[in-house]
């Protein structure tokens, strides 16, 4: 019997997300739930992000797995836009996690206080 990895463990790798990068300024695209709630979205593969973009005119942007500062800033930006939930691999057996919980997870590695 195999078990699916924890949604938080999926945040350890590279992140691919939709947005736009212009003149040194990055804009993160959020998804919307059926009830209109803003949702952050991270894909664990470039291909999954391209599938999610589906001609929406957005770029697939990347954060490398070891760039904890960029991951922290991304999560803070998403929280600042009102997204309290984070979808991981939307449309591909997506998993959800509270955005704030994901931020604390990343910060625990940055501060070297992660419990493994």
Determine the Cα–Cα distance for residues 41 and 32; give it in Å rounded to an integer.
10
- Looking at the domain assignment, is residue 8 inside a domain? no
- The domain total for the chain is 1
Q: Which domain holds residue 26?
A: 15-110
Q: What pLDDT, in 10s, does the model give residues 26-66? A: 889 999 888 889 999 999 999 999 998 987 889 999 999 99
Which residues touch 16 (CB under 8 Å, ≥6 apart)? 42, 43, 44, 45, 46, 48, 49, 60, 61, 62
Q: Is residue 115 part of a domain?
A: no
Identify whether 1 is part of a domain: no
- Residue 99 domain flag: yes
Q: What is the pLDDT of residues 56-95, one digit of tens each?
A: 889 999 999 999 999 999 999 999 999 999 999 987 776 8
pLDDT at position 1 = 54
Tell me whether residue 61 is in a domain: yes
Question: Which residues make beta-bridge pairs with 63?
Answer: 15
Residue 116, in any domain of the structure: no
What's the angle, vertex CA 7, arms to CA 66 and CA 70, rounded to 5? 30
Is 10 part of any domain? no
Q: Is residue 85 part of a domain?
A: yes
List the CATH number of the domain containing 50: 3.40.1350.90
Report the DSSP beta bridge partners of residue 17. Answer: 61
């Amino acid at each position: 019997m195999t078990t699916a990895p924890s949604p938080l463990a999926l945040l350890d790798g590279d992140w691919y997300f939709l947005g736009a990068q212009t003149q040194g300024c990055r804009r993160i695209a959020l998804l919307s739930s059926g009830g209109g709630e803003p949702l952050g979205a991270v894909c664990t593969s470039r291909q999954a992000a391209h599938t999610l973009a589906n001609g929406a005119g957005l770029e697939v942007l990347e954060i490398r797995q070891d760039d904890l500062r960029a991951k922290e800033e991304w999560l803070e930006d998403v929280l600042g836009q009102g997204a309290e939930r984070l979808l991981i691999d939307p449309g591909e057996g997506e998993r959800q996690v509270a955005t704030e919980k994901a931020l604390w997870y990343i910060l625990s590695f940055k501060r070297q206080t992660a419990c493994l």
